[in-house]
């Protein structure tokens, strides 16, 4: 451990922590994927822009959830910690707006899933990961609950061109 960390490691200490030098945040992240980062930010912003948001707290919760989704760490206690409130306050403030944490998480995932599926370059398994699902089957089940169809079916319907007959009928009326 000492060789890996480049410093003496103390076991049995009172706290678990890793201390970095002050300039560590300026160092590049090895293996970072700038394309994926830009894509995720773009999709999150687009998904949020199409929603009518009645609460700034809900937006704060969604903003705290979004970066944690791919890591599977979007849990109420963690979101409360990031927002600087207790888990009970998080529950209470969402309840005051007629929401639950699960509802906010589920709706955000559903909105993002629809956007991600429009990008043919993203595989279903990558979308599942980006939304925080460990298994594609869990994502497929959730998507079917949201829309009544599987992600593959939704993507196929999205790619299908409009019927010329439907277009002609639309012009004649």
Look up the CATH number of domain 34-155: 1.10.10.60
**Residue 171 pLDDT class (50, 70, 90 cuts):** very low
Residue extents of the structural domains in the chain = 34-155
Bigger pLDDT: 69 vs 24: 69
pLDDT tens for 97-144 read 899 999 999 999 999 999 999 888 899 999 999 999 999 999 999 999
Whether pTM exceeds 0.75: no
Burial of 1: CB neighbours in 10 Å, binned 0-12, 13-18, 19+: exposed
Rounded to 5°, the CA angle 101-81-30 comes to: 105
């Amino acid at each position: 451990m000492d060789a890996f960390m480049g410093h003496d490691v103390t076991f049995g200490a009172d706290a678990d922590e890793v201390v970095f030098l002050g300039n560590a945040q300026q160092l590049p992240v090895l293996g970072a994927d700038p394309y994926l980062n830009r894509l995720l930010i773009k999709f999150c912003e687009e998904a949020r822009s199409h929603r009518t948001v009645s609460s700034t707290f809900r937006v704060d919760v969604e903003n705290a959830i979004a970066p944690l989704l791919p890591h599977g760490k979007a849990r109420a206690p963690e979101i409360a910690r990031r927002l600087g409130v207790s888990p009970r306050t998080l529950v209470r403030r969402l309840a005051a707006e007629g929401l639950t944490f699960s509802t906010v998480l589920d709706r955000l995932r559903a909105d993002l899933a629809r956007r991600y599926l429009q990008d043919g370059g993203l595989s279903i398994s990558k979308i599942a990961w980006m939304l925080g699902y460990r298994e594609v089957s869990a994502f497929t089940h959730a998507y079917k609950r949201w829309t009544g169809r599987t992600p593959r079916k939704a993507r196929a319907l999205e790619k299908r061109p409009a019927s010329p007959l439907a277009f002609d009928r639309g012009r004649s009326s």
